[in-house]
Amino acid sequence: MVGRPDEEADVVIRAIVRFLDQRTGTAPFLRKTLRYLFPDHWSFLLGEVALYAFVVLVGTGIYLTLFYEDSTAKVVYHGPYQPLQGQEMTHAYRSVLDLSTTVKAGLLIRQTHHWAANVFMAAIVLHLLRVFFTGAYRKPRELTYWIGLTMLVTSLLEGYLGYSLADDLLSGMGLAIGYAVAMSIPFVGANLAALIWGGPFPGSHDFFPRMYIVHVFLIPALLATLLAVHLALVALKHHTQFRQSRRESERKLVGVPTFPAQTPRSLGLFAAVVAVLFLLGGLVQINPIWLWGPYHTYSATNGAQPDWYLGWLIGALRIVPGFDVVIGNYTLVPNPFWGGALLPLVFFGFLYLWPWLERRFLGERGYHNLLDRPRDAPLRTAIGYAVATEVFLVFLAGSADRVDVLFGLPYIPQIWAYRVLVIVGPFIAALLAYRVCVELQRGERVERERSRAELAARSRA
């Protein structure tokens, strides 16, 4: 192909490039972009997966808005789905029910949207783990990291609002819990809840339309903006890399160019993500709201579980022992605050502050383009592992009721076990991680010395 380009294609490409360059002057930029280098490591694809899931979310989400009604006015159901015949429900729930039962391809798009949200969050969390444990957030990339964290927090809220909009029994319970957490904030809780809900739960008829506009416009616009800045920062400072050979260094980046090599790879990954999401959306049922039924404040279902990324919060709400902090008649800290607000606050506070903490207390001051392997920074790995273990234990605690039902392990002793584990677990995890890192380092040192000795012996011989 090289040296013998198709004459016609050649002419067209030249014409397009000339047209663009004459009107925008971007040919130098475009040429640089084509030859921008992507270091090659599978873990660098996690962020890309999140990006592609976001594209699917926007696409399927736009479709859903064309069918959704944001009204909580009541309607009596007379539709094709027999089990809910004659039941009183909101227009919001009814519209999602109709989309799922009567609109052709409606269920496919809705389920794909929901799956995409789950995959999106999973990809972000794995991406965050990669960035944390390899030290990719260090100078000069702290801004990229903070923006990424902000996208994670925003996406958690976005996902929660998304499944709350369906107004089925499960999502209504989720909203009630959100309301209780808002109420529990010391000094201002009830005021904040009254502001957001327009009065006591379930709130005024403005609440759903507001939630809707936040979910379909405000947060997506914010996410898209943050995403653009995040990617621009990555490109401006170039990607970090592992030292995979002698060629990679703090000054020299080794990778494949955007075009031609990286383009089919990235497009292929995009197609793979879309393929998985549509296959999941079509073949694996998710959130069958017709089975949950419409929400009423006085109804609840057993075995309620949120989407996975909020599992840690329900676990945290469940394992806190029953107490409010009260001074006289003033309730200083209502109980849901601990698990529903303080835990995420401390967790994200830690993540935001970490680059600063590392600089302040571990003397990390350098300018880094090369990544650490987790073993190269045992202290960071140990601390990160402790925090991750804590969140994972709390997450597991959220499934104690399912474990009770499935395996007959009684619920109350399980909760007591978790109450102990969340205190002891992180310390054990940290010690363990530290030991493993040190041992791995030592093993490598021994290996290096042996091969050096062998080499020396061979050259003597």
Partner 1 sequence: MGRARAFLVAAAVLLVGRRRKRRLRPGEREPIVAVPAPKSPDAELVAIGLLFAAAACGIAFVVIYVLDRLPAQTQLLGLALGLAFVFLTAALTVTAKWLVPNEELEDDYPEHEHPEEQERIAQVVEESGLTRRKLFALALGAAGGSIGLALLTPVASLGPALHLARFYLTPWRRGTRLVNEQGEPYRADEIEEGSFYTAFAEGADKEGLASSIVVVRLPRNELELPPENAGFDARGILAFSKICTHAGCAIALYRKPMFAPTDPQPALICPCHYSTFEPATGGKVIFGPAGRKLPMLPLTIDAQGFLRAKGNFDSPVGPSWWGVRMKKPTS
Is 67 or 201 the residue whose CB approaches partner 1 more closely?
A: 201
Q: Does 408 bind partner 1 (CB under 8 A)?
A: no
Q: Does 310 bind partner 1 (CB under 8 A)?
A: no
Residue 203: both structure tokens together: 């709130």
Specify the length of the chain in residues: 461
**Can you tell me which of 126, 143, 190, 436 binds partner 1, judged by CB under 8 A?**
190
Q: Does 91 bind partner 1 (CB under 8 A)?
A: no
**Can you tell me which of 11, 14, 24, 35 binds partner 1, judged by CB under 8 A?**
35
Distance between CA 241 and CA 248 in Å, rounded? Answer: 8
Is 144 or 429 the residue whose CB approaches partner 1 more closely?
A: 144
In the complex, what is the shortest distance from the CB of residue 113 to partner 1, in angstroms, rounded to a whole number? 13
**Can you tell me which of 77, 201, 308, 392 binds partner 1, judged by CB under 8 A?**
201
Q: Does 250 bind partner 1 (CB under 8 A)?
A: yes
**Can you tell me which of 9, 66, 406, 412 binds partner 1, judged by CB under 8 A?**
412
In the complex, what is the shortest distance from the CB of residue 383 to partner 1, in angstroms, rounded to a whole number? 27
- Contact between 282 and 111 under an 8 Å Cβ cutoff? The reply is yes
Residue 360: both structure tokens together: 């302040």
Distance between CA 108 and CA 59 in Å, rounded? Answer: 13
Q: Does 261 bind partner 1 (CB under 8 A)?
A: yes
In the complex, what is the shortest distance from the CB of residue 379 to partner 1, in angstroms, rounded to a whole number? 26
* Phi, psi torsion values for 343, nearest 5 degrees: -60, -55
Q: Which of residues 209-238 bind partner 1 (CB under 8 A)?
A: 210, 236-238
Q: Does 5 bind partner 1 (CB under 8 A)?
A: no
CB neighbourhood size of 459 (10 A): 7
Distance between CA 295 and CA 121 in Å, rounded? Answer: 26
Q: How far is CA 79 from CA 26, 69, 70, 85, 87, in A?
A: 56, 16, 19, 7, 10
**Can you tell me which of 222, 226, 320, 357 binds partner 1, judged by CB under 8 A?**
320
- Contact between 189 and 334 under an 8 Å Cβ cutoff? The reply is yes
- Contact between 390 and 419 under an 8 Å Cβ cutoff? The reply is no
Piece of 212-220, 259-267, 432-440, 446-454 that binds partner 1 (CB under 8 A): 259-267
Distance between CA 104 and CA 401 in Å, rounded? Answer: 37
Long-range contacts of 260-263 (CB under 8 A, 24+ apart): 262/38
Q: Does 296 bind partner 1 (CB under 8 A)?
A: yes
**Can you tell me which of 1, 66, 406, 457 binds partner 1, judged by CB under 8 A?**
1
Distance between CA 72 and CA 49 in Å, rounded? Answer: 36
Q: Does 41 bind partner 1 (CB under 8 A)?
A: no
Please work out the total of residues on this chain that contact partner 1, with binding judged by CB under 8 A.
108
**Can you tell me which of 246, 365, 458, 460 binds partner 1, judged by CB under 8 A?**
246
**Can you tell me which of 192, 221, 224, 346 binds partner 1, judged by CB under 8 A?**
192
Q: Does 176 bind partner 1 (CB under 8 A)?
A: yes
The radius of gyration of the chain's CA atoms, rounded to the nearest angstrom, is 26
Alpha carbons within 13 A on the beta-carbon side of 50: 22
**Can you tell me which of 164, 369, 381, 389 binds partner 1, judged by CB under 8 A?**
369
Instruction: Write the DSSP string, 194-232.
Output: HHHHSSSTT--TTHHHHHHHIIIIIHHHHHHHHHHHHHH
Binding mask 338-367 for partner 1 (x = CB under 8 A): -xx--------------------------x
Q: Which of residues 59-78 bind partner 1 (CB under 8 A)?
A: none
In the complex, what is the shortest distance from the CB of residue 127 to partner 1, in angstroms, rounded to a whole number? 20
* Phi, psi torsion values for 254, nearest 5 degrees: -115, 130
Q: Does 254 bind partner 1 (CB under 8 A)?
A: yes
Alpha carbons within 13 A on the beta-carbon side of 282: 8
Binding mask 125-164 for partner 1 (x = CB under 8 A): ---------------x------------------------
In the complex, what is the shortest distance from the CB of residue 115 to partner 1, in angstroms, rounded to a whole number? 10
Report how far Cα 171 is from the mean position of its chain's Cα atoms.
19
Piece of 126-134, 144-152, 249-257, 443-451 that binds partner 1 (CB under 8 A): 249-257
Piece of 41-49, 189-197, 214-222, 448-456 that binds partner 1 (CB under 8 A): 189-197
- Residue 241: what residue type? Q
Q: Which of residues 103-122 bind partner 1 (CB under 8 A)?
A: 104-105, 107-108, 111-112
* Phi, psi torsion values for 97, nearest 5 degrees: -60, -45
Is 203 or 384 the residue whose CB approaches partner 1 more closely?
A: 203
Distance between CA 15 and CA 337 in Å, rounded? Answer: 62
